[in-house]
Amino acid sequence: MNEILEILEKDARATPEDIAKMLKMTPQAVKKEIKRREKEGIILKYKTILNKELIHEEQGGVRALIEVRVTPKKDLGFDYLAERIYQFPEVTSCYLISGTYDLLVVVEGKNLHTVASFVAEKLSPMENVRGTSTHFILKKYKEDGDILRQPKKDKRQAISL
């Protein structure tokens, strides 16, 4: 992967000037490369990752991983069904996977009931959906390469005998 893209993927706040210094380039060359990658659709957006467990005002909210077994639509394959599924506002991510299930769908809802309702009322009844398996996320430790909670340091004094 391009070095500029690697830097931006790790830190979207890196300025063209910062990147230019790291790579011994001119800021204008970095800006030009970034604009080109944005035009090509390689850079889709810049994102902030929040540790929502530490935001105490936002109580609630549930995320679930749903494995979905489907029968591919003739002449359209898995893409057609994936597109129908990822159009739902509850769906935050959708992946084609190998194994027993075909799709992995990440869903967010206000509570367990809203996610369960989504599966029972919208996802499972869809034509060509043969089965689902829902896994609720109980706690996040690391997401997209970022550790969300640093291990707590033991503040006790060491005693040796």
Q: What is the pLDDT of residue 52?
A: 72
Residue 47 — very low, low, confident or very high, per pLDDT cuts 50/70/90? confident
Q: What is the pLDDT of residue 78?
A: 96
Range 145-154 average pLDDT: 74
> Encoding tokens for residue 87?
């159009």
With a CB cutoff of 8 Å and minimum separation 6, the contacts of 76 are none
Q: Mean pLDDT across the chain, nearest whole number? A: 90
Q: Does the pLDDT at position 113 exceed 80?
A: yes
Q: Does the pLDDT at position 161 exceed 80?
A: no
The tens digit of pLDDT for each residue in 71-109 reads 998 899 999 999 999 999 999 999 999 999 999 999 999
Query: Which residue(s) pair with 49 in the sheet?
Result: none
CATH code that applies to domain 53-143: 3.30.70.920
Nearest 5°: phi and psi at 109? -145, 170
Q: What is the pLDDT of residue 42?
A: 94
- Percent of the chain whose predicted confidence (pLDDT) is above 70: 91
- Nearest 10 degrees: CA dihedral of 129, 140, 148, 141? -110
Q: Does the pLDDT at position 13 exceed 80?
A: yes
Q: What are the sequence ranges of the domains in the chain?
A: 3-39, 53-143
Q: What is the pLDDT of residue 151?
A: 67
Considering only residues 124 and 52, tell me which one the structure prediction assigns the higher pLDDT.
Answer: 124
Q: How far apart are CA 14 and CA 12, in angstroms?
A: 6
Query: Which residue(s) pair with 129 in the sheet?
Result: 70
Give the ranges where the chain is alpha helix by DSSP (H): 3-10, 16-23, 27-39, 77-86, 112-117
- Percent of the chain whose predicted confidence (pLDDT) is above 90: 72
> Encoding tokens for residue 152?
């707590």
Range 132-142 average pLDDT: 91
Q: Does the pLDDT at position 57 exceed 70?
A: no
